[in-house]
Amino acid sequence: MRSDWIERAGLFIGFTLLPVVSVYATRSAATFLSVSALLLAVARMAADGSARPLLSEFGRSARRPLGLSLLAFAAVAVLSLAWSPAPLRAWDEALRLAGSIVLVLAWCVVIRRVPTERIWPYLAVGVALGAAACAYELLAPVGLRTILTRETATWNLNRPVMIVSVLASALFVISAHDRSPRRMVVSVALAALAFGVAAISESQSTDLFWLAFVPATLFAAIFARRGTIVIGVLMGVALLMIPFAVPWVADRLRPLLDAAPLANYVRESHALLRLDIWRGFAEALPARPFTGWGIASERFMKHADGSGRPLVPYAHPHSLPIQLWLDFGLVGVLVALSVLAATFRRILALPPRQGALAAGLLAALFAVWSVSHGAWQEWWLALIALSFGTLIAARAGPAPPSLR
């Protein structure tokens, strides 16, 4: 009985509290996911009467293709300090990325025995409360967030708006697989609410997420296994080719974006600036194509003329494929492709309907990951674990009578 309540507390913190607290503390997602994972692990150990079964399962997961490839990527991140232009200052970035990867793997282990039927109410309440909190902060003359943080710019809500939308889509995927009419109606209503919040926010990344999620999910659902494979192949091609296609695309896209019909939207969306950022970092890749510049190198890359000027005057590439090539080169890309292959191997092992819907969600996450956010930000990696990781790891279907 005690393990049951500990598990409930873990689910509440991860699926209900996280999307609400993120509205007021946007970088708290990794912390709340860690606490949730810890409580679920304690509940599991209490139920088993020992830590040995859980540790054995973690060891088995680490030896499977997905676990091995994730840990290999964490190792590449740490090893890249050896060729980083500022290894001492980049050390914390390497440890944070490695820690985030271990957290993702640990979450997939501790959530494995939890049935989706038990997750559903905690996630539904979290999405509803998170969406309501975001809407209030966006529409109120003076929001609670402004009082607590003294931040008045509404773009500071872009991350919590994204969190609510991604979790709403995960709720929809769980409901569609479980085929409960009542839960499906609720999940669609909450998805519509999350979409509405995204529409009134300044988060264009969340708009892109929905724009990608709907067609990708439909495509994967219609074509099932073949559609899932196509999505995986396209993601792999994007990882390989986007950085090298950017200069060519930028030259041809800029005149179109400068055209009068699009000028106002382009100015508001900072599309031209984003093209400049991508091109700047992409042009630095040929200097170190095999190993990259090392993790967090974008902060420390300097011109070779000795002036001390930054090689690219921007904080980070805002693109996973470019960041991947920049930090770890071909070595890191090959390891990332092994992660991708192992992930889709896991997706294809799921029931066809569940796997197709999970692939659609991953495609939408990848679309945002490719054009927005810092690739290794902890809150973003925690969100991927909480949404997509839960879909591929949690036990689909109803809870046993003792857990209802």
pLDDT at 257: 64
pLDDT for res 361: 96
Distance CA 92, CA 88 (A): 8
Q: What is the pLDDT of residue 305?
A: 47
Q: What is the DSSP letter of 1?
A: -
pLDDT attached to residue 38:
97
Report yes or no: 212 and 169 within 8 Å, Cβ to Cβ: no
Distance (Å, whole) CA 333 – CA 337: 6
Helix (H, G, I), strand (E, B) or coil at 258: coil
pTM: 0.92
All residues at 6 or more sequence positions from 325 whose CB lies less than 8 Å from its CB, including other chains: 243, 285, 289, 292, 332, 333
> Would you say 193 and 131 are in contact if contact means Cβ atoms under 8 Å apart?
yes
SS3 label, residue 295: coil
* SS3 category, 383: helix
Task: Report the pLDDT value the prediction gives residue 248, as an integer from 0 to 100.
Answer: 78
Helix extents (H) in 300-351:
320-349
How far is it, in rounded angstroms, from Cα 30 to Cα 381? Answer: 8
Beta-carbon contacts of residue 286 (< 8 Å; ≥ 6 apart): none
User: Is the sign of the CA dihedral 183, 186, 188, 191 positive or negative?
Assistant: negative
pLDDT at 105: 95
**Tokens at 133, concatenated:** 């909190």
User: Strand, coil or helix: what is 115?
Assistant: strand
Q: What pLDDT was estimated at residue 401?
A: 39
| Extents of the domains making up the chain | 2-394
Tens-digit pLDDT profile for the chain (404 aa)?
Answer: 578 899 999 999 999 999 999 999 888 999 999 999 999 999 999 999 999 999 999 999 999 999 999 999 999 999 999 988 878 878 989 999 999 999 999 999 999 999 999 999 999 999 999 999 999 999 988 777 777 777 766 678 899 999 999 999 999 999 987 778 899 999 999 999 999 999 999 888 999 999 999 999 999 889 988 999 999 999 999 999 988 888 777 777 666 666 656 555 555 556 667 777 888 788 888 888 999 989 988 776 655 544 445 566 566 788 999 999 999 999 999 999 999 999 999 999 998 888 999 999 999 999 999 988 888 999 999 999 999 999 999 877 554 433 33
Q: Rg of the chain's alpha carbons, rounded to an integer?
A: 21
Distance in angstroms (rounded) separating the CA atoms of residues 386 and 374: 18
Q: Distance (Å, rounded) from C-alpha 270 to C-alpha 274?
A: 6
DSSP structure class, residue 315 = S
Q: What is the dihedral of CA 156, 322, 194, 136, to 10 degrees?
A: 0
CB 43 within 8 A of CB 10: yes
Please give the span between the terminal C-alpha atoms of the chain, in angstroms, as a whole number: 12
What single letter denotes the amino acid at residue 181?
Answer: P
Rounded to the nearest 5 degrees, what angle is found at the Cα of 375, between the Cα atoms of 369 and 376? 140
